[in-house]
Structure 1
Amino acid sequence: MKIVVSGGGTGGHIYPALALIREIQKEASEAEFLYIGTEKGLESSIVSRENIPFKSIHITGFQRKLSFENVKTIFRFLKGVRDSKRLLKEFNADIVIGTGGYVCGPVVYAAAKLGIPTIIHEQNSVPGLTNKFLSKYVDRIAICFEEAAPFFPKDKVVLTGNPRASEVLGHDGTKGRLSAGLKINQPVVLIVGGSRGAKPINEAVLKSLAELGEKPYQVLYITGDVHYDEVQKEVALIGSPKNVIIKPFIYNMPEILSGTDLTVARAGATTLAELTSLGIPSILIPSPYVTNNHQEKNAKALSEHGAAVLLLESELTGKKLTEQMDQILMDKKKLSEMKNAAKELGIPDAANRLYALMKELVNKK
């Protein structure tokens, strides 16, 4: 099978695509892949490091206000469609899947017009503009949250989950704890604000450092590279408790997550897929700076099922954060209930579900 994957702009669109590719490669080594993205997007460097054939087109996203740039974007879209058709024909694609970002627009649209089977994968509970547009033309729409279904044509929607959920399974949590300098026999809270960190979360943690030092659990606190030096200056003044380990970034997240009892994080779709796949309770602090406030809606999809606690950034303080951590970790019954609730929401075989959907469409062709 010759598979074209397109997705870009943010890691939330790129990493699920790569997870899907890796899982398909395990099951079907003969499968061939072509990734179509933009030269200036994150996907350009990330995909190249994975040794996956990569081609680029030039396209920009629409601005949400009236602008002459949108006129230029229309012309870029039309050229992107022409370029995409050429690439798809050269590759002789059997199926095309878009995992989000404006680059998917011309690529998936071109495939639909060529009669190539198409799928879009929506990671969030509220879809973006590109997937809403493409939903009229694609064969299937794969979703990760049931809350996303009403935004799309009912007969096209399939709940598959996020392929990243498959990648975090089967890792050694003990190895993860040891690699981070954590104790084996004490509960672990992972606090992370994303790859670049989150200043409000960092500020809340710093204000509660002294109090955290007295807790019967340990904290692995990931500041993000951008904020690490600033945090360390503050820690030098406050003092760092022995049970709090501070790092700028970690590269073995699946192992770390496997050894985690509770996670404090933003509410990006990939993060939630990983947490529910492993059945990890969470305190979710959605970023208020994302399109359609989708992180808060993602978080509610977990909190309303008892798998997470939703804590808005506007209400975040060091005191509130530690109180929530205590209430979960020091109540074994509550912790167990949240673990079970998270596990019930997880779709650990997401990559296999998506691949099965792809094979079904190709066989129907």
Structure 2
Amino acid sequence: MDRYRFILSGGGTGGHIYPAIAIANELKKRHPNAEFLFVGAKDKMEMEKVPQAGYEIKGLWISGIQRKLTLKNLMFPFKLISSLLTARKIVKQFKPHVAIGTGGFASGPLLRMAESSGVPCVLQEQNSFAGITNKLLAGKAKKICVAYDGMERFFPKEKIVKTGNPIRMDLVDLKSTKDEAGTFFGLDAQKKTVLVLGGSLGARRINQLIEKELGFFEKRGLQVLWQCGKLYYEEYKKYDSDRVKVLAFVNRMDLAYTMGDVIISRAGAGSVSELCLVGKPVVFIPSPNVAEDHQTQNAKALAAKDAAIMLKEDELDSTFENAFSGLLDSEEMQLKLGINIKKLAMPKATENIVDEIEKLLKK
């Protein structure tokens, strides 16, 4: 059996790291004696998350360009040169058969150096609006795995394969019951529940909204399962009661998705892909503070297919109660959103991406 070597890079946020880990896990399943090496940005969360998943990682001295003139921007050319030199050394020593990039700053220097050493490269783009690193690398990549239609706006059409985004396998088939979920969270399984997701760190604007609307939810007879994020838990835990559960983070996402009848969420690529699998009515409140405003683009892509409702952060005070009441009062609308979002699910995304990687091994 060939002892393949795979080098992977993606980071800065969980949205880039978890897909890379999922791809590595699937490759490992198919090639148990393969070697793996991750490359990340020295001070970012991948340096902690990747070793937790059981893989070795090396760090580059790299960061993105800030939107305003800062000392960090002045350092950027030096960081870039340093990262390219380090990446070249890593590629030379490790001698990968394939390099895989899932976006984020560190994947730029690594894939650039892998490609110039003759290593075939695969990109995985999670969002409907391509990230800057992947756009810069696209010309040299062999394959670009995407999750949305219309990506030829950013990438050469002949390289694009629509695979979907890697997701947690325990969500592919929700087997838990509402009773089990109610017992786990201490909520009434018979009552309609709003599940609020702001990401692992939390979303300030969503938390402010939920705090303001707790009376409205109570009037409508709703329970709230509120993941406020670890940055905000101390501020909002005072609202915990028998009908409002406030959590820093959710350990059992399968049970949370089972419990929620209507979901309020950010629109990061990973969340969107998971919610497509779950197939429940979703109100997306995209974060406007992310690169290239990609969350708004993701949410718009679903809203255009009648697969979700999108509300903008700066319009919440005037639009939320009307839009949410409209959804609650229409069983038909809830059903339609649930069915349409489920149609967009791609549960075999990780396998599809690895199939494309394996084609390059055979060449």
TM-score (norm 1): 0.90
| Cα distance change of structure 1 residues 126 and 334 upon mapping to structure 2, 3 Å threshold | same
* Alignment correspondent of 1:225: 230
CA contact (8 A) 1:95 1:362 kept: yes
Question: What SS does structure 2 have at the residue aligned with 1:316?
Answer: helix
Q: Distance in 1 between matches of 2:312 and 2:295?
A: 10
Structure 2 unaligned regions, length at least 5: none
Kindly indicate whether the alpha-carbon contact (under 8 Å) linking 1:210 and 1:241 is maintained by their aligned counterparts in 2. Answer: no
Partner SS state of residue 226, structure 1: coil
The answer for the alignment partner of 2:356 in structure 1 is: 357
The answer to whether the 8 Å contact 2:41/2:105 transfers is no
Indicate whether 1:195 and 2:200 are aligned.
yes
What do residues 237-273 of structure 1 show as CA deviations (whole Å, max 9, x unaligned)? xxx6643222222122233224432210111111101
Counterparts of 1:1-365 in structure 2, within 5 Å, are: 1-64=4-67, 72-164=75-167, 166=169, 168-174=171-177, 175-233=180-238, 235=239, 242-317=242-317, 320-364=319-363
C-alpha distance in 2 between matches for 1:2 and 1:220: 43
Local SS of the residue matching 2:362: helix
Q: Distance in 2 between matches of 1:177 and 1:106?
A: 47
- The structural deviation recorded for 1:166 is 4.4
CA distance change for structure 1 residues 358 and 213 in 2, over 3 Å: closer, same or farther?
A: same
Total equivalences in the alignment: 358
TM (norm. structure 2) is 0.91
SS of residue in 1 equivalent to 2:87: helix
Tell me, which stretches of 5 or more residues in structure 1 are unaligned? none
Residues 179-188 or 131-140, more deviating = 179-188
Q: Could you tell me how far apart the structure 1 residues matched to 2:143 and 2:136 are?
A: 13
CA contact (8 A) 1:37 1:44 kept: yes
Offset of residue 85 of structure 1? 2.6
What is the rounded CA distance, in whole Å, between the counterparts of 2:69 and 2:233 in structure 1?
A: 39
Structure 2 distance, partners of 1:25, 1:177, is 36
8 A contact 1:37–1:55 mirrored in 2: yes
1:336 deviates by 1.5
CA contact (8 A) 2:145 2:353 kept: yes
CA distance in structure 1 between the aligned counterparts of 2:133 and 2:190, rounded to whole angstroms: 47
Q: State percent identity of aligned pairs.
A: 34
Contact 1:193 1:265 in 2 (8 A): yes
CA distance in 2, matches of 1:167, 1:159: 22
Asked if the contact 2:203/2:229 (under 8 Å) is kept, the reply is yes
Once the two structures are superposed, residues 138-173 of structure 1 have per-residue CA deviations (whole angstroms, 9 ceiling, x without a partner) of 111111122433111111111111102645223443
Q: Give the deviation of 1:227 after TM superposition.
A: 1.7
161-170 or 68-77: bigger deviation: 68-77
Cα offset, 1:57, TM superposition = 2.0
Q: How far apart are residue 134 of structure 1 and its match?
A: 0.6
Question: Following the alignment from structure 1 to structure 2, what is the Cα–Cα distance between the partners of residues 243 and 155?
Answer: 52
Would the aligned equivalents of 2:40 and 2:106 in 1 still touch at CA under 8 Å? yes
How far apart, in 2, do the equivalents of 1:199 and 1:249 lie?
14
User: Aligned partner of 1:55: which letter?
Assistant: K
- What whole-Å deviation, never above 9, does each CA across 1:52-84 have from its counterpart, x for those lacking one? 111122223234567785564334323323322
Alpha-carbon contact 1:143-1:149 (below 8 Å) kept: no
Counterpart contact for 1:212–1:241, Cα < 8 Å? no
